[in-house]
Amino acid sequence: MNAMRISQLAERTRVPATTLRFYETSGLLPADRTTSGYRLYGEDAVERLAFIGAAKHLELPLKEIAELLGVWESGTCREVKADLRPRLVAGVAAAEERAAELAAFTATLRSALEHIDALLDRTGRCDPQCGFPAPAKSSTGQPAASRPSPGPVDVALSPSRRASEEEVERWRTAPVACSLTGEQTAQRATAWRQALTGARRQIPEGLCLTLPVSRAAAVAELAAAEQGCCPFFDFRLHLDGPDLHLEVRAPAEGVGLLTELFTDAA
């Protein structure tokens, strides 16, 4: 087997020598040593670097790459696939979350652009009458723009959204009963039917409906009203570019009512 010096391996694989040294210290790329202390690599290092490069392209952290390399070295292709799959599933979820955040932020920018384009070109200074869209405040009172990245535009219409995640959500323990009566119930169902024409899919403990974002105000108003008579429903609205995702959940005893109301409406 022909041995390569670090410069030769770097030239062949187009991986900088500094990166090769870093991989060695990270335990990803072992190297033999000459009596003079020079690093020596075999042909297997080329394959190993290709594997590392592919894993980095998937944005896997170095710790996970090291774990995968251990399976790759001693296991079968089936074992590598079994180890890699849950990591890819987690990566897809994280990428979709980032995409949703970016889509929501893009929608915010477009809304701001449309707003300033509609403003009159006055010769005076800007004042509150301009209605220039100000950045939302964070929980600390600082402008949201000072945070490192925009968050998804989410609205939760539930009396259960408390500061501590360890506290029990109220909708889970609320009595499964509606305070509306005959005609009121029919009117509310009609209002939902008019608002919820769109795609529907199952989620844990409920449903998710995807609607045009233009219906956000009407849907939020309906959800708030529904909370008043049916506190066992949990509503969450997610603005995602041109889409509004409405999630509705209920405890096990209320799933039948949830399905009856929102499936018929959709």
- Tell me: the pLDDT tens digits for 100-115? 888 888 888 888 788 7
Give the residue, 55 or 182, on which the prediction is more confident: 55
Q: List, in sequence order, every beta strand (DSSP E) within 59-203.
A: 153-157, 199-203
The per-residue pLDDT for 167 is 41
In the predicted model, what is the mean pLDDT of the chain?
78
Give the residue, 139 or 54, on which the prediction is more confident: 54
Owner of token pair 């710790």: 63
- Cβ contacts of residue 237 below 8 Å, gap of 6+? 154, 155, 156, 157, 216, 219, 220, 223, 244, 245, 246, 247
116 vs 124: CA distance, rounded Å: 15
Residue 145 has pLDDT above 70, yes or no: no
160 vs 5: CA distance, rounded Å: 62
Residue 136 has pLDDT above 70, yes or no: no
Confidence label for 139 from pLDDT (cuts 50, 70 and 90): very low
Give the residue, 38 or 125, on which the prediction is more confident: 38
Out of 38-42, 92-96, 137-141, 212-216, which region has the weakest mean confidence (pLDDT)? Answer: 137-141
Out of 19-23, 113-117, 174-178, 185-189, which region has the weakest mean confidence (pLDDT)? Answer: 174-178
Closest by alpha carbon to 158, among 146, 168, 148? 168
The SS3 assignment for 97 reads helix
Residue 140 has pLDDT above 80, yes or no: no
